[in-house]
Structure 1
Amino acid sequence: MILVTGGTGLVGSHLLYKLLKNNEKVKAIYRREHKLELVKKVFAYYSADFESLYQKIEWINADITDVPSLQIAFKNVNYVYHCAAFVSFEPDKYHQLRKINIEGTANVVNLCISHQVKKLCYVSSIATIGHHQDPQKLITEDTNWNQDDDNSVYAITKYGAEIEVWRGTQEGLDAVILNPGIIIGPGLWNSGGSSSLIKKIYKGIPYYTTGVTAYVDVDDVVRAMLLLMQSPIKNERFIVISENLSFKEFQHQTALALGVKPASKEATSLILGIGWRLDWLNRLFTGKRRRLSKHMTKSAKSITKYDASKLKNALNFEFKPMQISIEESCKLFLEDLNNDS
């Protein structure tokens, strides 16, 4: 029996589909019932028989921060895919991020050990890997995390979660960690995560930035997870990225695929600095969630290039080109838009 945490998220929903297509017996955790419809929606992209596939999932109403409910979910489980996480770059969300990302992962690891789970797959992030002083030098799994850097609250808590997984391996648990870049895929257009980038670009983003980061298709992330769990590889981490693209290039490719006007103005350091301060004031006076933090503006200008050679060599893995990934996701976004109108 396989357990998936974060089953209603972008990675979790696509993973569930692949597991069921492989005739695996699957349990999945959910917290909010209305999000279950999003899983059906993702399934429907790939199969006309999505309803019968969906019905094969044993859904468990549980929370990774609530040990008693999580304990129930672990009954008769042999393999665990831990996809659940809280994504935020807002400094005032630090304690919530710690609770979910670090304490929640510790709970998952502890239950894996006590239930003698055969293997754990943890979905982390490239945010937990260190940076080079030379922006043109490729970042690998061996690039050390620098705790003295001005790291985002998200990166700090995902790094803390990885520490919990490594602690589990010292206590006899077999595990693999994936560090994906920005994950692109269809279905969760309103989630606030990476899928919502497509919706934001469709609605219009007037500014672009010159920073560079790594992107990957959700199907590639899922395929890497499955292959690593099926392999004898254990207690290793892998960067999972297809290409390093500038934010300008990603926005441009996405805008063209959506048939909208690409951003034409560069967001300079001055504009970004004014932007995050105004956003902070807006949060202060209205209570609305931050849309632009200081760390987000820093990332928007920084050049970070990653190397996925370790995964490619270990699994003979080939990634989907990002242009194809963008075009496929944008096509489904436009179809959903037409169906909803």
Structure 2
Amino acid sequence: MTIDYLVTGATGLVGNNLVRVLLEKQCTVRILARETSSRRPLQGLDVEWVIGDVTDKDAVQRAVTGVNCVLHAAADTHIGWRGLNRQRLINVQGTTFVAHAALTQGIRVVQISSVDALPIAKSPQEVIDEEATGEPKSKCTYVVTKRQSEAEVFRLLDKGLDAVIVNPGFMLGPWDWKPSSGRMLLSIAKHPSPVAPTGGMSGCDVRDVATAIVSAAERGVRGRRYILAGENITYLDAWQRMARQVGARPPRWRMGPLVRIIAGYGGDLWGYVSGGEPEVNSALIEMSQQFHYYDSSRAKRELDYQTRSFDTSIRDAWEWLKREHYV
């Protein structure tokens, strides 16, 4: 029996929402997950499990064999400076294995990348689309490896791979089991700050992104990139909205240079002392000063990408976190 879709990263925010969208469409779904992956995110869902890892070439080949399309959501999304080898293994080599397996099977793969792999607006007035050229400003390991993973997909396109790349913005929504972006809501609720980052983001709903990814699989143009972003807002505005939703005191000011230095390099110093890398570090601070503003017009035209209000996404993400006892 042929399976409609293989989803990698199915226990993560994007992958888990993808699985649910596919099942609602009556599609058959296979997932590739590590032996150590929690079963809770997929409890009660009718999916076929293949135990393995995207960094295991043989496991990837087993998972891809007998499916019609691959939705590759697995990634290491940590923002920092110290995870290059790990992120190259997962983000670059893993993508290469998945794309090459899809090529050998003659099936489509949708590479789920990020707007972080794209150029950055030079000012708050500029909005980036798929035709923008140049390199991202940040050289943190996540950005570098997501660019490299895209390059691998484009390289295999020249060899006949049927692939589409999607670049989601900052996603919020339910089914955030790890949690990932939901940590921002939890942090604002537990440790409200009077200041917010100076830059901006493109806030979108993971459910809308997941629906558009399936559309990209069904009718996206081979070799084309689609930005799946949302409302372009400053971090100050976003954090104020989040604070109001979670019942915390909203920030009033943008983060000044001294606070950025203390937070960023203080995090780096703690990482060197502890042997790890904290979530708040100079790479994260650097990226939060940039304006990640994007235009999703192509996806709206070609994929019928529809976006709900970011306030709705904030509310639904928070309600889900409360329901699942993260709060």
TM-score scaled by structure 1?
A: 0.89
The structure richer in helix per residue is 1
Aligned partner of 2:23 in structure 1 is 20
Aligned partner of 2:117 in structure 1 is 128
Query: Cα distance, 1:242 vs. partner?
Result: 1.3
Q: Counterpart of 1:124 in structure 2: which amino acid?
A: S
Q: How many Å separate the matches in 2 of 1:320 and 1:232?
A: 21
Aligned partner of 2:199 in structure 1 is 211
Q: How many Å separate the matches in 2 of 1:323 and 1:218?
A: 13
Q: How many Å separate the matches in 1 of 2:292 and 2:64?
A: 38
Aligned partner of 2:175 in structure 1 is 187
Query: Cα distance, 1:289 vs. partner?
Result: 2.7
Q: How many Å separate the matches in 2 of 1:186 and 1:133?
A: 32
Q: Are 2:163 and 1:163 aligned?
A: no
Structure 1 residues 304, 73: CA separation in 2 closer, same or farther (over 3 Å shift)? closer
Query: Cα distance, 1:33 vs. partner?
Result: 3.9
Query: Cα distance, 1:103 vs. partner?
Result: 0.8
**For 1:1-341, what aligned pairs fall within 5 Å after superposition?**
1=3, 2-40=5-43, 51=44, 54=45, 56-117=46-107, 119-146=108-135, 149-188=137-176, 190-191=178-179, 193-206=180-193, 207-231=195-219, 233-337=221-325
Query: Cα distance, 1:6 vs. partner?
Result: 0.6
- 1:116-150 per-residue CA deviation (whole Å, 9 max, x = no partner) reads 21x11111000111124344111111111327x44
Unaligned runs of 5+ in 1: 41-50
Query: Cα distance, 1:266 vs. partner?
Result: 3.5
1:332 counterpart SS class: helix
Query: Cα distance, 1:90 vs. partner?
Result: 2.0
Structure 1 residues 304, 164: CA separation in 2 closer, same or farther (over 3 Å shift)? same
- 1:79-111 per-residue CA deviation (whole Å, 9 max, x = no partner) reads 100000011222111111111111110111111
Query: Cα distance, 1:113 vs. partner?
Result: 1.0
Q: Is the 8 A contact 2:138 2:287 kept in 1?
A: no
Q: Counterpart of 2:228 in structure 1: which amino acid?
A: V
2:82 counterpart SS class: helix
Q: Is the 8 A contact 1:252 1:263 kept in 2?
A: yes
Q: Is the 8 A contact 1:65 1:100 kept in 2?
A: yes
Q: Is the 8 A contact 1:177 1:236 kept in 2?
A: yes
Q: Is the 8 A contact 2:82 2:277 kept in 1?
A: no
Q: Counterpart of 1:274 in structure 2: which amino acid?
A: I
Say which structure, 1 or 2, has more relative contact order (CA 8 Å, 6+ apart): 2
Q: Is the 8 A contact 1:189 1:196 kept in 2?
A: no
Q: Is the 8 A contact 2:9 2:72 kept in 1?
A: yes
Unaligned runs of 5+ in 2: none
Query: Cα distance, 1:195 vs. partner?
Result: 2.2
Aligned partner of 1:45 in structure 2 is none
Q: How many Å separate the matches in 2 of 1:285 and 1:235?
A: 45
Identity %: 27
Structure 1 residues 135, 254: CA separation in 2 closer, same or farther (over 3 Å shift)? closer
Q: How many Å separate the matches in 2 of 1:186 and 1:21?
A: 16
Q: Counterpart of 1:130 in structure 2: which amino acid?
A: P
2:203 counterpart SS class: strand
Query: Cα distance, 1:173 vs. partner?
Result: 1.6
Query: Cα distance, 1:280 vs. partner?
Result: 1.6
Structure 1 residues 5, 115: CA separation in 2 closer, same or farther (over 3 Å shift)? same
Q: How many Å separate the matches in 1 of 2:270 and 2:159?
A: 46
2:248 counterpart SS class: coil
Query: Cα distance, 1:34 vs. partner?
Result: 4.6
Query: Cα distance, 1:32 vs. partner?
Result: 4.5
Query: Cα distance, 1:68 vs. partner?
Result: 1.5
Query: Cα distance, 1:161 vs. partner?
Result: 0.5
- 1:59-85 per-residue CA deviation (whole Å, 9 max, x = no partner) reads 111111111222221221221000000
Q: Counterpart of 1:30 in structure 2: which amino acid?
A: A
